[in-house]
Chain A
Amino acid sequence: MASSEVALGSAKVVGSGRSTEVGLVELCRSGDPQAFAQLVSLHEGMVFNLATRLLGNPEEAKDVSQDVFLQVYRALGRFEGRSSLKTWIYRICVNQCRNRRRFWRRRHTDSACPLELMTASEEAQIAADRNEASPFDGVARREKAALVHRALQKLSFDHRVVLLMRENEGLSCAEIASTLGVAEGTVKSRLARARDAFRSTMLRAAGEGA
């Protein structure tokens, strides 16, 4: 968000990304519901996408998204602005997904856990992509996306987190470190192991599919 204009019912915040973010947070703290709705609409896409990739289930991801923004609202008074709002929300999202996953693991065995399933909505989402040059491209992309999804679900949760944040969300190692509350070196080593595991899994999955 290099430059943005956030139009609100009670206020209009115009400026660079950081100043807009600060203004939005201040409005939310003052209890402006429209400002909070704007904050949610700005970040719900990234939260939902990450939660769906981490949990593998869009219905669970929708519930988690609500919980994430409820926690954001309650904790906004404690947000000090040392990290960006985006990484702060990412941290809440990852923690919520981890808790949800633990909850499911306590209740179900791994094989019965619905979070590991490839979702029909994701298939539909991929099929809805209009950038495909031909129907064959669409089929190829769907198959590749399903392959990647299966490979991701075979990784550990921590590896999945760093890999998705780095490769899919485009966060830097410093931002991931800030999000997870660990040292940057830890992120890099964890990312190296996650990449290696993912590459191996992709190779195996491609071999099984061939």
Chain B
Amino acid sequence: MNCREVLASLSAYVDRDLSGAGGHAIDAHLESCAACAAQLRGLRASLDCLAALPRIAPRESVASRVLDRLEVERRGPGLALLFRPTAASRPLMLPSLVHAAFFLVAAAGIGFALQRPLVGPSAWSRVGTEEYPEVVQVPRVTSAALADGLLSEGAEGSLFFETRLARDGSVATVKLLEGDASEAAPVIEALRRERFEPTRLRGQPVVVSVYRLISRLDVTAPRT
């Protein structure tokens, strides 16, 4: 076996991949050929260096990144955005909710303090105007109520009165709006002596008007 053949078989010789006869022939050649022996030593030394290379490990596992990418691919980017945890997908939403909650609580508190809703249907805000006067409870008569006899013996037609009440419940004025004034005179006197409970709106006494219609009609049952 010559040097060229030995050098061509050195790789297999290092791997002990040669048959018995081939291996022995190379052994014999290497004992007698210093150049080929030096080639073998150089090869083994370089391969030892290669085997001794330190293994390089990743600084962080790629598993989580791979699973994230698979998740995005599986759901699609739009759905992935939707299905992310709320805090992760909308990091500014929670602080905004806190501010919104404070604002609502403050608005409700001010509303209760003023006893007027700050928010609500638009019709509420129109109550109290001329178009939609505020509704108050009908003031109750506390003294000198109108006598039934006066009404039964009085006028035969219809009388329509406006009684304006002061803040303390006393009668300020009585005005005949419709009817015979001569027939209404005793009724007006009686109405002026009446006294009412003070009328309050949102806790405050107010002036109100009470309208009365006094009518006497003959009603006959229809003949059958």
Contacts and interface: CB of A to CB of B under 8 A. Distances in A.
A186 interface: no
Contacts, number: 111
Main secondary structure, interface of A, reads helix
B54 interface: yes
B100 interface: no
B67 interface: yes
Interface residues of A, number: 46
B66 A45 contact: no
A129 interface: yes
A8 to B, nearest CB: 13
B47 interface: yes
Main secondary structure, interface of B, reads helix
A41 B67 CA distance: 12
A98 to B, nearest CB: 19
Contacts of B186: none
Interface in B109-152: none
Interface string A17-47: 0000000000000000100110011001100
A163 B47 CA distance: 9
Given A48-B62, A195-B43, 15 more contacts: A37-B64, A48-B57, A49-B57, A53-B53, A61-B56, A144-B52, A149-B53, A164-B50, A167-B47, A168-B53, A192-B8, A192-B10, A195-B10, A195-B47, A198-B46
Interface of B: 7-8, 10-12, 14-15, 17, 39, 42-43, 46-47, 49-59, 61-67, 69-70
20 contacts: A40-B63, A41-B61, A44-B58, A49-B57, A58-B58, A70-B69, A73-B70, A121-B59, A125-B54, A129-B54, A149-B53, A167-B50, A188-B12, A192-B11, A195-B14, A198-B47, A202-B42, A202-B46, A202-B49, A203-B42
